[in-house]
Structure 1
C-alpha cells in the first residue's frame, strides 16, 4: 500500500515538473521577436546557419499554429537559398519537411514546397515521385529515341539531345546518355564544342551527385576531363589536379601529368600563339628547346608501350591512344556501342603543336622547314578560302585587294600564321625590289605598313614582330621618298619639255591658216558638237584620269610616247573647247572652211605662232 502511494506521488511530481517546464518554455517564446528577426535575414547561403538557429528556438520554446507557420516560412526560405546555391538535393529534404507540416493542407508554405519538390524531382529524374506521369512517359520516349540512334551508329540530332537534357538536366542518367551522344560526335570531328559539352556534363554530375558517384568513377571522370582539356580543347588539363588530389597514386593521371609537365617546360602557353595580345608580348623564349624536345635529342617521353623516333611522333601516338581508350571506355556509360576516331580528324592540340613548330623554325631562320608545319596548322585552323587567299598573297602577291581583310581575320584567330604570311610577303617583295623587274611594289608595302600600325606592332616585345615592323617601316619610308623623287623628276621633265616646245614654236614659221579646223576636237573628247561647257569639262577630267601616267602602271618607252601624245591631244582639244571665245572661232572656221583671216584665227599673235596662248597651256597631271 505504501509503495503504491509513493508511485502516484512520483507521477504527480513528474507531471508538475513537465507543466512547469512547458509554462516556462511558452513564456520564453516571443513569436513577434522571432518573426522580426526572420524577416531581417538575408537571402544568401551565408545566412543559412541563422535560419537554422531561429528554427531551433521555435522547436524548443514555441507551440501552436502560429509557431508552426513561422517555422514553415523559415524552412521554405532556407530551401530557396539552397536551390539558388546549387544544392538542390539538400533543398529537397528541406521542402519535404515543410510539406509534412502538422498544419497539413492549410499551410501556404506546404503547398509552395510541394511545387518546388515537383520541380526538383523532374530536374533530377526522380520520376516515381512526380505527379504528372506524362512527363516520365515523354522522358522514356526521348530516351528510347536517343538509344536507337546510338545503337545504329548514327548521330543523335541536336534538337533531340537538347530536348532530352532540358527535360531532366541534373539526372545522372540524362547527363551520361547525353555524353554518349556527344562522344559519337567527337569521334567524327574532335569538335571543340562537343568536347566542352562533355566536360560540362561531367562537372555537373560531379557537383550534383558527389555522394552517389564512387571514388573509382570520380577518378575516371577526372582523367577523362584532363584528356579532353589537353587534346580536344587545347587548354591546361586542370582535371589532373582534381584527380591527383583525390588519389596521388592513380597511375593514368600520374602518367598524363608527367607528359603535360614536359610539354609545359619547353612550349609557350596554349594561347600565346592564338591570342593577339599574348603573341605581341611573347619574348625571351628559347625556340631551340622546342625543336630539340619535339624533333631533336631530348629525353624520350614515356607512356605505356609507345615507342617512336621522336617525341613529336610519340606524342601523336599518345594522343591517339588516350582518345581511342576514352571513346571505348566512357565513364559511367551503360551504352555498349563503341566508336573509333575518324582518320580525317585533327585535334586542337595538334594544331597548336604545329603552330609552335612553325614559329620555332621561323624564329630560327629555317623558313622552308617551317612551311610544312605552317601549312598544316593553317589547314586545321583556317577555312579553305582564307588559306587560298593568304597563300596567293604571301607567296605570289596576288589577291592584293582582299589581302588586308584576310590578314585581319587571320591575325585575330591565329596571329602567328599572320606573322608567317607577312614574313613570306617581305621575302617576295625584297626579291622583286632587288631584281628590279619593273613591278611597282609600293602599294603592297603600304598595305603591310597600314596593317602593322593598326594592330600595334610598334613597340611589341616579340622580337620577331619588332623585326618585321622595322623592315616594313624602313622600306615603306624609302618607297615614299623614291615616289616623291620620281614625281619631282617628272615635273622637271615636263617643264623642260614645255620650254623646248615653246622655243621650237617661236623659231618655227606660223602654221598655215585653218590647220586646226582639220582636227575634230569634239571627237577627241568624245562629246557632241552641242555639248555644254559642263559636259566638256567632265569629259576632259575623265579622259585625263584615264590616261594619267600614274594610272598606267609599267609601260615600255613606245607605250609612254603613245600615252603622252594622247594626253597632248586631249589638252589641245580642251584648250579650244573649254574657252567659249576660242570654241566659237573654232566652230565658225569649221562651218566656213573657205573664209580666211589674215591672222591665225585663235590668237596666234605675239606668242610666236602657238595657237592657244603659250602662257596658259599646261600639261597638268599632278591634280588627278
Structure 2
C-alpha cells in the first residue's frame, strides 16, 4: 500500500487548493488498482481529487472510480458506503457503469428494505409485505426470521426483532435467543456505524458484552475493548472491563473448561483453595460496591442479575416501551450456573464433599429438567430403581461434565456406605451403571491431567472389582449349596428306595 500512495499525487498537481488534472495518468492509476480491501485507502484518496476534474472523459472515469470503490466497500461489508458510491453513478449523465451499478443497487435496496426503489410487482417485495402484514406476537420470531432472509440489513426490522427476542429472554434465558440478540446488536453496530449516534454505538457494545459474559458465559473482553476504543471513559464498559480483568486474574479456569469434555479432562493443578477462599470464605469484596455482600460469590450473582435486568429494561435504538419494568430474572443466568459448577469443582478437588454437594445441587437444578432432577434426587436419597439414571448422567455430562462425575462420586459413595452397613440388597445393577459410564470416559480421563476424575475412576474401578469378587464368591457359595442340597436329596432318595428292599429281604429270611 505504501508503494501506491505516492502514485496518487502523479495525476493531480495541487496548487493553492486547485487540482491540475492529468487524465492519462489518472486512467493508468485506476488500471493499477486491485478491486479488493488493499485498495480501499487509495480510492478514498483519489475520489475527492477526480471529482474536481471536468469533462466527458473525466465523467466516465468518475463512474469507474465510484463503481469500483463501491465494489470494494461491498467486499469489506460496508454496504451503506457502497450504496452511496453506486448511487453517484446513477446520478451521472454518463452511461458507463450505470447498468452494473443498477444491478448492485437493486440487490442492496432489497437487503436494506428500501422498497421505494423496487418495482411493486417484484416477488421479494410482495413476499416481504405479505409477511409484514401477518406478523403477530405469537409467531413473531418465525416471521422476523423469514423477513430477515429477504432483507438481512433492514435497520428497523432488526431493532423490532431484538425487542421480540428480549421479551422472550425475560421469560426464559435461552442461550440461542441470547445469541441472536448478540448477532442483531453486532450487525446494527457494524453496518450502521455511520448512521447511529456514538452513544448508541457504545451502548450496543456494552449490551453485547453483558450478553456474552452473563448469559452466554463467554469472554466479553474483545467487545469491551472495542467499546473503550470508541470512548475510553464510557463508564458502563469501563466498570465492566475492570470487573472482567479482576475475574480473569483471579479465576484461572476458563468457562469452556467447565463445558467441554476434552478441556475438562485436561484441567491441571489449580489453586483450588484460592478459588474457594475468594468466592466463599473471603468477606472482602473483589471490587468496591455500594451494597455489602456476604462474599464474592453473592456479589457476582447479584452483579450478573443487575446487568441482565438492565439489558431487558433499557434497549438501545428501540422506541417501543417496555410493558413493565423487570425486577427479577425468571431463572439463574448461565454465568451464575457456571459459577456454581466452578465452586463445586473446587470443593471436589479438595475432597470436601458436603460443600461440593450444595453448589452442584444448585447447578443440577438448572441443567436438568424438573423430571430428571426429581428422579436423581430421589435416587440419591433412596437408591431405588436405577431406571433413568444413565440418561441423567448423559444429560449432565453434555452440559457440564463435572456435574456427571460429581453424581457418579455421590452414587458410588452411597453404594459403598450401604455395603459397609451390610445391606443385603443386590447392588450389581447400580454398579453396572457406574461401570458403563466410567468405561465411556476412561480413556479420555486417563489421558488427561484432571486429578479428580483420575482418582474417581480408580476408586470406582476398585469398588466394582470388589463387588464382582463378592458376586463371584456369592455365586460359588450358591452353587456349592445347591450341589450339597442336590447331594443330600439324592442320598435321601437312595436311602428311601433301599428301605423297602431291605425289609422284604428280611421277611424272606424269616
Instruction: Return the alpha-carbon distance in structure 1 between the equivalents of residues 496 and 121 of structure 2.
Output: 113
CA distance in 2, matches of 1:136, 1:321: 42
Secondary structure of the residue that 1:193 maps to in structure 2? helix
Task: Give the CA deviation at 1:429.
Answer: 0.3
- Indicate conservation of the 8 Å contact 2:215/2:334, yes or no: yes
Flag the structure with more relative contact order, 1 or 2, with Cα contacts below 8 A and sequence separation at least 6: 2
User: Of 67, 76, 80, which aligns to 1:85?
Assistant: 76
- Which runs of 5 or more structure 1 residues have no equivalent in the other structure? 1-21, 514-624
CA deviation map 1:137-156 (0-9, x unaligned): 9978977987xx7xxxx677
Which whole-Å CA distance do the structure 1 matches of 2:144 and 2:210 have between them?
Answer: 23
Query: Is 1:161–1:178's contact at 8 Å kept on the other side of the alignment?
Result: yes
Q: Secondary structure at the match of 1:400?
A: coil
Matches of 1:307 and 1:55 in 2, distance apart? 59
Cα separation, partners in 2 of 1:285 and 1:171, compared to 1, 3 Å: same
Distance in 2 (alpha carbons) for counterparts of 1:50 and 1:215: 27
Q: Alpha-carbon deviation of 1:434?
A: 0.6
**Corresponding residue number in structure 1 for 2:207:** 224
Contact kept? 1:391, 1:421, Cα under 8 Å:
no
TM-score normalised according to structure 1 size: 0.65
Asked whether the equivalents of residues 285 and 295 of structure 2 are also in contact (C-alpha less than 8 Å), the reply is yes
Q: Point out the more displaced range, 69-78 or 457-466.
A: 69-78
Residue 459 of structure 1 and its aligned partner are, at CA, apart by: 4.3
- Between the aligned partners of 2:380 and 2:23, the Cα distance in structure 1 is 89
Deviates more, 1:90-99 or 1:184-193: 90-99
Say yes or no: does 1:178 pair with 2:161.
Answer: yes
RMSD over equivalenced CA pairs, Å: 4.2
Which 5+ residue runs of structure 2 have no aligned equivalent? 1-20, 502-510
In 1, are the aligned partners of 2:213 and 2:335 still within 8 Å (CA)?
A: yes
Q: Check if 1:467 corresponds to 2:451.
A: no
> Following the alignment from structure 2 to structure 1, what is the Cα–Cα distance between the partners of residues 230 and 70?
30
Alignment of 1:3-402 (within 5 A): 44-46=36-38, 79-80=70-71, 82-99=73-90, 104=95, 109-132=97-120, 157-238=140-221, 239-267=223-251, 268-302=253-287, 305-337=290-322, 339-340=325-326, 342-402=328-388
User: Contact 1:118 / 1:131 at 8 angstroms: preserved in 2?
Assistant: no
The answer as to whether partners of 2:386 and 2:430 remain within 8 angstroms in 1 is yes
| Match among 446, 449, 465 for residue 432 of structure 2 | 446
1:389–1:399: 8 Å Cα contact kept in structure 2? no
Cα distance in 1 between the residues matched to 2:473 and 2:462: 17
Cα distance change on mapping 1:47 and 1:248 into 2, 3 Å? closer
Separation in 2, partners of 1:337, 1:165: 23
Instruction: Give the whole-Å Cα distance in 2 for the aligned partners of 1:504 and 1:337.
Output: 91
Moved over 6 A (4+): 47-56, 67-75, 133-146
Moved more, 346-355 or 81-90: 81-90
Question: With structure 2 as the length reference, what TM-score do the two structures score?
Answer: 0.78
Taking the aligned partners of 1:234 and 1:46, their CA distance within structure 2 comes to 36
> What is the distance in 2 between the residues matched to 1:509 and 1:320?
87
Deviation at 1:462, TM superposition (A): 1.6
Q: How many residues align?
A: 474
Distance 2:173 2:254 in 1: 21
Change (3 A) 1:312 1:494: closer
CA distance in 2, matches of 1:308, 1:145: 49
2:468 to 448, 465, 480: 480
Change (3 A) 1:205 1:54: closer
Partner of 2:11: none
Measured at CA, do residues 271 and 221 of structure 1 come closer, stay the same or move farther in structure 2, by a change above 3 Å? same
Over 3 Å counting, the alpha-carbon distance change for 1:498 and 1:117 in structure 2 is: same
CA drift of 1:500 comes to 4.7
Q: Which has the larger radius of gyration?
A: 1
Q: Secondary structure at the match of 1:457?
A: helix
After superposition, the C-alpha distances for 1:146-169 in whole angstroms (9 at most, x for unaligned) are 7xx7xxxx6772133324444532
Deviation track 1:227-286 (CA, whole Å, cap 9, x = no partner) reads: 111211111113212122223222222222222233333432222222222221223123
- Matched residues in 2 for 1:304 and 1:508: separation? 94
- Say which SS state the counterpart of residue 210 (structure 1) adopts: coil
Q: Quick check: 118-127 or 42-51, which moved more?
A: 42-51
- Residue 217 and residue 54 in structure 1: after superposition, are their counterparts in 2 closer, same or farther (change >3 A)? closer
SS at match of 1:309: coil
For residue 384 of structure 2, give the secondary structure of its aligned residue in structure 1. Answer: coil
In 2: Cα distance, 1:495 partner to 1:318 partner: 71
